[in-house]
A and B are shown apart, each in its own frame.
Chain A
Amino acid sequence: MAMLEVNGLNVYYGLIHALHDVSFHVNEGEVVALIGANGAGKTTILHTVSGLLGAKSGSVVFEGKDITKKPGHSIVKLGMGHVPEGRRVFPGLTVAENLRMGAFTRPKGEIAASLNEVYEWFPRLEERKNQPAGTLSGGEQQMLAMGRAMMSKPRILLLDEPSMGLSPLFVGEIFKIIEKVSAAGTTVLLVEQNAKKALSIADRAYVLETGNIIKEGVAADLLNDDAIKKAYLGE
């Protein structure tokens, strides 16, 4: 059975029907990419999976548990981390406080060790640990958002456009980190506009258009798919 199974999801914003019968799955250990143009519904999918939004119909099943109706705050404990679009670090909290909030659901005794791990991953964060997160650069905030999600020791990590607004050098660095996260055993569901980069590190991918999944397949195949090349890879 897949680690994360999404079946026939329909989500509305008032009268706007944002997701139409969306179904997909993520197997343990995979990196799965979700690509699509602006407004396709990628963020809506992630928000529904992690419980920030409710679904009209359909289900989200994580490790065999139906979490469709669970309140958002209770889903982290089950082993799901979510790095939201636009990073959304807490600007007035220090870097260290942001990271500690990431471990909100974990026992006090385990936090110091995780904090050190995250600092090993992101040495820049340790240098800036007492600085308010709002004063970090965009790339550093992205690292903080990822480190903060890692503090909950997730078994699956949802990433919403981690490369948004970053310089090419930083984009490379962030993607390297995603590969490392995956190599360390965390399953990854990656939403990206940068389809080329996303497909190059993903195992499988789904293509989303105006709230519908229109294509799915092995990432390497999609990279060579003519229609995909034309629509999303700018070739």
Chain B
Amino acid sequence: MLNYLITGISLGSIYAIIALGYTMVYGIAKMLNFAHGDVIMVGGYMCFCATTYMGWHPLLGVLLAMAVCTVLGIVIERLAYKPLRSAPSLAVLITAIGVSYFLQNAALLIWTSNPKSFSPIVGRGAVQFGDLQITHVTLVTIAACVVIMAALTLFTGKTKLGTAMRAVSEDKGAAQLMGINVNTTISMAFAIGSALAAIAGVLLCSAYPMLVPTTGSMPGIKAFTAAVFGGIGSIPGAMLGGILLGIIETFCRAYISMELSDGIVFGVLILVLLVKPAGLLGKQTREKV
């Protein structure tokens, strides 16, 4: 029971980190970056290449993955989304799906469809607390999630750049009148979101060490669900949504059915949205889409 809870929180922590990326980008650019899940996959492959092919220290692998994904996120925004900033949201959505397929196919070309076996960034050991056994990967995952959450909350709440980000997300024109460079601020949101995706990718592959070009899509969709569940645009919402989703999914797998668990997860989402359309912690405002 407690073991499942820990597993759920750990899986949920990964969802939460991914969901934070969706939420940051949505909050500021008002768009769903469907390619976010594939950035996770790129992060996974980068870390894999660094540690397995080049024999780097895992920590360096994580840093490489973060650096590559940050640049990738900025480039995707500049090339694919920025030209469409005043286009209808449907056009942006379709472009995002296109970018997602592009990344998957590029990965297929480079790394083929053969699964790569990822070596976790921390040892396979576990810590024993009485009856409870917690693997190192789980501990690192939960700790990373807590640290990221705290850092992001501090950043957006207390720093000048973070406040500017919130200002841009509320009113781009007025933000410009303050002297805030809206383009740079949006790039920054993509950079942060993508760096988080890289971390999520490494943690995901450490927990489930099978890396294929579609590795990112399912967790990506679930984390998106989590972000909506918690209230898209809200940082604590993404966190709460991610962790709840992880717990629900783990318990469904354990007690109800492996096959049905995804169905149940999405069912819960639909229920929550019927009762609270803005999500658990979302603001009840009507969003222009």
Interface positions of A (Cβ within 8 A of B): 50-52, 71-77, 82, 84, 88-93, 97, 100-102, 104-105, 108, 148-149, 152
| B-chain residues with CB within 8 Å of residue A104 when the two chains form the complex | 160, 164, 178-180
What is the CA–CA distance of A76 and B174 in the complex, to the nearest angstrom?
A: 12
A91 touches B164 (CB 8 A): no
B166, B171, B180: the one within 8 Å of A73 (CB): B180
B170 touches A93 (CB 8 A): yes
Q: Output the least CB separation between B269 and chain A (Å).
A: 25
| A-chain residues with CB within 8 Å of residue B176 when the two chains form the complex | 51-52, 72-73
Say whether, besides A100-B163, A101-B164, A73 and B179 are in contact (CB < 8 Å): yes
B173 touches A148 (CB 8 A): no
| A-chain residues with CB within 8 Å of residue B133 when the two chains form the complex | none
Q: Does B113 contact A (CB under 8 A)?
A: no
Can you spell out 30 A-B residue pairs with CB atoms less than 8 angstroms apart? A50-B177, A52-B177, A71-B181, A73-B179, A73-B181, A74-B179, A75-B179, A76-B179, A82-B177, A84-B174, A84-B177, A90-B166, A91-B170, A92-B166, A93-B166, A93-B170, A97-B163, A100-B163, A101-B163, A101-B164, A101-B175, A101-B178, A101-B180, A104-B160, A104-B178, A105-B178, A105-B179, A149-B177, A152-B178, A152-B179
What is the CA–CA distance of A4 and B114 in the complex, to the nearest angstrom?
A: 66
| B-chain residues with CB within 8 Å of residue A84 when the two chains form the complex | 173-174, 177
Q: Output the least CB separation between B168 and chain A (Å).
A: 9
A102 closest partner in B (C-beta):
B178
Q: Output the least CB separation between B187 and chain A (Å).
A: 14
Q: Output the least CB separation between B30 and chain A (Å).
A: 15
A148 closest partner in B (C-beta):
B178
| B-chain residues with CB within 8 Å of residue A71 when the two chains form the complex | 181
Q: Which 4 A-B pairs have the closest CB atoms?
A: A76-B179, A105-B179, A88-B174, A72-B176
Q: Output the least CB separation between A143 and chain B (Å).
A: 16
| B-chain residues with CB within 8 Å of residue A90 when the two chains form the complex | 166-167, 170-171, 174-175
| A-chain residues with CB within 8 Å of residue B170 when the two chains form the complex | 90-93
| A-chain residues with CB within 8 Å of residue B174 when the two chains form the complex | 84, 88-90
Interface positions of B (Cβ within 8 A of A): 160, 163-164, 166-167, 170-171, 173-182
| A-chain residues with CB within 8 Å of residue B173 when the two chains form the complex | 52, 84, 88
| B-chain residues with CB within 8 Å of residue A73 when the two chains form the complex | 176, 178-182
What is the CA–CA distance of A41 and B122 in the complex, to the nearest angstrom?
A: 63
A91 closest partner in B (C-beta):
B170
| B-chain residues with CB within 8 Å of residue A92 when the two chains form the complex | 166, 170
Q: Output the least CB separation between A86 and chain B (Å).
A: 10
| A-chain residues with CB within 8 Å of residue B163 when the two chains form the complex | 93, 97, 100-101
| B-chain residues with CB within 8 Å of residue A82 when the two chains form the complex | 177
A77 touches B177 (CB 8 A): no
What is the CA–CA distance of A214 and B174 in the complex, to the nearest angstrom?
A: 30
What is the CA–CA distance of A67 and B174 in the complex, to the nearest angstrom?
A: 19
| B-chain residues with CB within 8 Å of residue A105 when the two chains form the complex | 178-179
Say whether, besides A88-B171, A90-B171, A100-B160, A76 and B166 are in contact (CB < 8 Å): no
What is the CA–CA distance of A73 and B181 in the complex, to the nearest angstrom?
A: 6
Q: Output the least CB separation between B279 and chain A (Å).
A: 16
Q: Output the least CB separation between A201 and chain B (Å).
A: 23
| A-chain residues with CB within 8 Å of residue B179 when the two chains form the complex | 73-77, 104-105, 152
Q: Output the least CB separation between B175 and chain A (Å).
A: 8
| A-chain residues with CB within 8 Å of residue B177 when the two chains form the complex | 50, 52, 72, 76, 82, 84, 149
**Max chain B CB contacts within 10 Å: which of A50, A51, A72, A76?**
A72
What is the CA–CA distance of A104 and B167 in the complex, to the nearest angstrom?
A: 11
What is the CA–CA distance of A97 and B180 in the complex, to the nearest angstrom?
A: 14
What is the CA–CA distance of A77 and B179 in the complex, to the nearest angstrom?
A: 7
| A-chain residues with CB within 8 Å of residue B175 when the two chains form the complex | 90, 101
| B-chain residues with CB within 8 Å of residue A101 when the two chains form the complex | 163-164, 167, 175, 178, 180
What is the CA–CA distance of A72 and B179 in the complex, to the nearest angstrom?
A: 7
What is the CA–CA distance of A51 and B120 in the complex, to the nearest angstrom?
A: 51
A51 closest partner in B (C-beta):
B176
Q: Output the least CB separation between B123 and chain A (Å).
A: 44
What is the CA–CA distance of A102 and B180 in the complex, to the nearest angstrom?
A: 10
**Max chain A CB contacts within 10 Å: which of B160, B164, B173, B174?**
B174
What is the CA–CA distance of A157 and B204 in the complex, to the nearest angstrom?
A: 53
| B-chain residues with CB within 8 Å of residue A97 when the two chains form the complex | 163
Q: Output the least CB separation between B174 and chain A (Å).
A: 4
What is the CA–CA distance of A72 and B166 in the complex, to the nearest angstrom?
A: 18
A87 closest partner in B (C-beta):
B174
A52, A76, A91: the one within 8 Å of B178 (CB): A76
Q: Output the least CB separation between A105 and chain B (Å).
A: 4
**Max chain A CB contacts within 10 Å: which of B160, B177, B181?**
B177
